[in-house]
Amino acid sequence: MINIGLIGYGYWGPNLARNFNSNPNMELKSICDFSADRLEMAGRLYPQVKLTKDTNDLFSDTNLDAIAIATPVSTHFDLAYKTLSNDKHVWVEKPMTEKIEQAKALIDLSSKKNKVLFVDHTFIYTGAVRKIKEIIENGELGDLIYYDSIRVNLGLFQQDVDVIWDLAAHDISIMDYLMPFKKFTVSATGSNYYGNGFVPKSLLTIYMENNVVGHINVSWVSPVKIRQTLIGGTSKMILYDDNNPSEKVKVYDKGVDFYETKEELYNLKIQYRVGDMYAPKLEEIEALTVGTEHFADCIINGKKPMTDGKAGLEVVKVLVASKESLRKKGAPIELDVNF
């Protein structure tokens, strides 16, 4: 049995508590939050759980095997570092850290301490993304050409980060999982319309190896909620629409072929292919339930998480470069491909 504590019981923390509480290999032992109101809410649902405002109560509790951190990103590094330093496995919410050096320090410490470092890139554990991965690995799409996503809605404004750190973190993690290519440059555009220091709407362009390009469009100021991703291959293309309740993934046998005619050598001809579409059946288990089971499995059986510190670092690298590019009005920022 894994004894787990949770720090942060705001918007996302309750989802973690619910999943930890119902996992057969876990016992939710303590919840920590600065806010008395949030602790009172937690206490009503989990009367058996210790409640505290002091994070040290969790770090010093030798009965705890793991701690999950669901606080704002600026606090992740400090809390995760203390968790690992106290010989506990750690679950960190996305994005893993604010800085690249912090992400690397967590990776080093988890390996030195031989403790699991799990980053909650939730979408990787959805039936939809796992099915798309399977289709790509089967070679059905051919060579991958692009990743093109739009994730927009009205709110929830975060207090401490731009929309990129909140919403694009999801797309970068999905893109990195489906297309694990080296990323060369990132450019990001957007503006601080409301004068509060944070950018609520942004477009990212990521150049990767094999001439693959990712476009990620995110916004907190859209009148409608759109969650669509197009993944292009030379053979087939996928539409992943997270708002579609019954057919989230559609695989289109559509594409463009270029060829040379004998008569007109060197003159490229274009031929459009329009074939069938199918929507594969997807597993419908809540992503956090799958992620929680995987975290427990990694702790019990010494496995490496699918969303480990390295995956967390890949996302942080793109986010840090995006922030710099935003400041420079979309100038391309080179990424270090060596780590």
Taking the least distance from each CB to ligand NAD, the nearer of 80 and 109 is 80
Question: CB 266 → ligand NAD: shortest distance, Å?
Answer: 50
Taking the least distance from each CB to ligand NAD, the nearer of 33 and 162 is 33
Strand pairing report for 201-208 and 183-190: antiparallel
Taking the least distance from each CB to ligand NAD, the nearer of 135 and 152 is 152
Radius of gyration for the alpha carbons in the chain, expressed in angstroms and rounded:
22
In the bound state, the residue with its beta carbon closest to ligand NAD is: 10
Question: CB 15 → ligand NAD: shortest distance, Å?
Answer: 8
Buried b (16+ CB within 10 A) or exposed e, 124-137: bbbbbbbbbbebbe
Question: CB 294 → ligand NAD: shortest distance, Å?
Answer: 14
Closest CA relative to residue 318, chosen from 209, 167, 169, 150: 169
Question: CB 273 → ligand NAD: shortest distance, Å?
Answer: 36
Closest CA relative to residue 67, chosen from 137, 115, 24: 115
Taking the least distance from each CB to ligand NAD, the nearer of 208 and 298 is 298
62 CB-near residues (< 8 Å, 6+ apart): none
Residues that bind ligand NAD (CB under 6 A): 7-13, 32-35, 38, 55, 70-73, 75, 93-94, 120, 122
Taking the least distance from each CB to ligand NAD, the nearer of 4 and 70 is 70
Q: Which helix (H) or strand (E) holds 67?
A: strand 66-69
Question: CB 14 → ligand NAD: shortest distance, Å?
Answer: 8
Question: CB 264 → ligand NAD: shortest distance, Å?
Answer: 53
Taking the least distance from each CB to ligand NAD, the nearer of 110 and 307 is 307
Rounded to whole angstroms, the Cα distance separating 92 from 76 reads 7
49 alpha-carbon distance from chain centroid = 29
Burial of 169 (0-12, 13-18, 19+ CB in 10 A): buried
